[in-house]
Structure 1
Amino acid sequence: MGFFKQVFKSVFKNIIDLSRPIFTFENNELKFKINSEYYYTFALNNYETKTRHDSYILEAYTINSDNLFVEYVHVDNDVTWNGLASSFFVNLFKEKLPINSMKIIEKKEFEHYEFITYKINDEFTLNFIYIYEINKDNFIIEKNAELYINLLQSFQKDYKYKFDKNQDLEFDINISIVKENALNGYFNLSN
């Protein structure tokens, strides 16, 4: 009987490990699943959270802090995006903020993660992290690259950040792809 109990425990543990979310926000921490055994944790201080609502959404919120902005979107099972979620977000970002030019100067991809560094208006850099799961999308914009570098190094140990870090950049982003969905139709019921 002990053998079957051991096999059952092992299979059950593997199912639980695989079903854990890639990204969570709890107890003032952003948690990122790197693999089934390791999560990278990033503590947040001095932040504001706003819950976002739309009829196609199960859960959505934005987090705005001194150095980063996060939008989490969990759509209902019968909802689909009408294009690439990350492209919609970046276009909304460019539309709502005073951005004349936005050039990709670095892009790295790992399972469920995209890391992109942008040169904005030829003046400063912003780091964008896009995390995707089934029915869940996470958009993170960061000015000082702390999260970007440490999270990327969880995937690529020898990664070196080659760009200037912003020091005195004003960072007040108040956008939401969920809030703008009614006007722009980013997602709707699947056919």
Structure 2
Amino acid sequence: MKPTVPARGKKILITGVSCVGKSSIGRRLAEILDCVFYDLDVELEHHFHMPISRLKALSLTGYSFRQKASRVLGRILHENCDRNLIVALPPSGLRDWYWKVIKKHGAIVIVLSDTPENILRRIVFYDDDSNRIEKELDERERALYLREIRKDIAYFRRFHGKANFHVDLSGAGVAESTEKVTAALEDYFGQ
């Protein structure tokens, strides 16, 4: 049986720390639920005609960057008001300007979580032009990245508490993680 999201115009936003699997899981979930999918970082690059790292560098603060980015999120939600959609948000996706847009549009927010060790296994590197870089980490680098991932998890926890619900991926791959999110959505919608 194919799972469904009830009623047209449901907005599902997925957030979590970097490399937890938001885009991969969101894309797969959109296929299963027959929804439109957006990766906010990709949409920002298209909207501003520049890589996300350069866009952030041009912003004086993270706050001013989120203010600009939230306008793009608002446009996506407004233009798709009658359609079901899924948007992968950045880790800061529940902060200040983003949160105002989310509340205005009544979106459902899911936070994906996993252990730092599992997230490190998924880590992907990009250059300043958003080109993927293949990089093998040595033990010292692994320890540094693990420490940074732990810091991110601790820092964003206070914002992620605003979400409708959380899904612990427990190291699962995309298919199993998507099943976990689908089951959580079905529980949320009471199906």
Q: Structure 2 length as normaliser, TM-score?
A: 0.27
Give the number of the structure whose residues are more often helix, by fraction. Answer: 2
Q: Which has the larger radius of gyration?
A: 1
Q: Structure 1 length as normaliser, TM-score?
A: 0.27
Structure of higher RCO (CA pairs closer than 8 Å, 6+ residues apart): 2
Give the number of the structure whose residues are more often strand, by fraction. Answer: 1
